[in-house]
Amino acid sequence: MAKTEVILIQNIVGLGAESDQVKVAAGYARNYLIPQGMAIPLTAANKRRLEVLRQRRAEREAHDLNSMTELAKSLQKLICVIKVKTGEDGKMFGTVTSGMIADELKTQFDVSLDKKKIHLEHPIRNLGDYEVELHLHADVKGSLKVHIESATPLPAPAEVPAPDARKEGPRTEKRGRRFDRPERMDKSEAGERKPHTERTGKVPRTEKAGPAEKASKPERPARTAKTPQPERPAKVE
């Protein structure tokens, strides 16, 4: 197959970058690269454009480097949340791939990132938090925090019946309720509780006098002996 040399005027994945001189199939250059404006034939006249292409390439690479550096700093602060379907045991259906992460970045943060720049050693198969490595540029690497959570609502826990308050209530509360009953209160009570004497009508007993009080009382005079009365004369029959 005949080969021909061309000068690339833009970056072509798997082939080269702009200003590179590459050999390709003559039909590929004639039918695709040159008509699409991706390359020009290698001639003496076109060699003069190499310097301009190299300068433009250097400017573009510098711009890409700065852009990817800033993007890496921004992505490091984000948390990409991905909701997946799970079974009742919490296991995922399927896996999370780099394409899903790229789609969520576009949806949540409006960040367009080629899925090839998202490096996953293995697809994510479990829920949880992950830190994904990013290959943004030949000289720039970054990381992205990814949180995988279930989109399936968890079953509601069964309600536990409330314990019977009558069984658990302390006995002291039952005794105390008797004093709160209106029929147990004194009928003579209007607002204040009356003294005991007014309710019962009994006079309270006085306290016994002490030795000091007994001493202060006047002594009774001593009893005098009775004067003997004269005998009456006996009656004569």
Q: Give DSSP secondary structure letters for 173-189.
A: HHHHGGGG-GGGS-TT-
Report d(CA 63, CA 65) in Å as an integer.
Answer: 5
What global pTM score does this model have? 0.53
Report d(CA 174, CA 176) in Å as an integer.
Answer: 5
Is the pLDDT at 74 greater than 50, yes or no? yes
Paired tokens of 148: 């995988």
Report d(CA 41, CA 154) in Å as an integer.
Answer: 65
Is the pLDDT at 92 greater than 70, yes or no? yes
- Over pLDDT 90: what percentage of the chain? 36
pLDDT at 80: 95
Higher pLDDT, 43 or 182: 43
Is the pLDDT at 183 greater than 70, yes or no? no
Is the pLDDT at 172 greater than 70, yes or no? no
Q: Which domains does the chain have, with CATH numbers?
A: 3-48 (3.40.5.10), 67-150 (3.10.430.100)
The three-state secondary structure class of 160 is: coil
Report d(CA 183, CA 159) in Å as an integer.
Answer: 42
| Mean pLDDT value across residues 142-156 | 83
Is the pLDDT at 86 greater than 70, yes or no? yes
**Integer Rg of the chain from CA:** 56
pLDDT at 52: 85
Q: pLDDT digit string (tens) for 159-170?
A: 666 665 555 555
CA dihedral of residues 179, 183, 186, 190 (deg, nearest 10) = 100
Question: What is the average pLDDT value for the chain, to the nearest integer?
Answer: 77
Residues paired with residue 41 on neighbouring β-strands, in sequence order: 6
Is the pLDDT at 179 greater than 50, yes or no? no
For residue 237, what pLDDT band results from cuts at 50, 70 and 90? very low
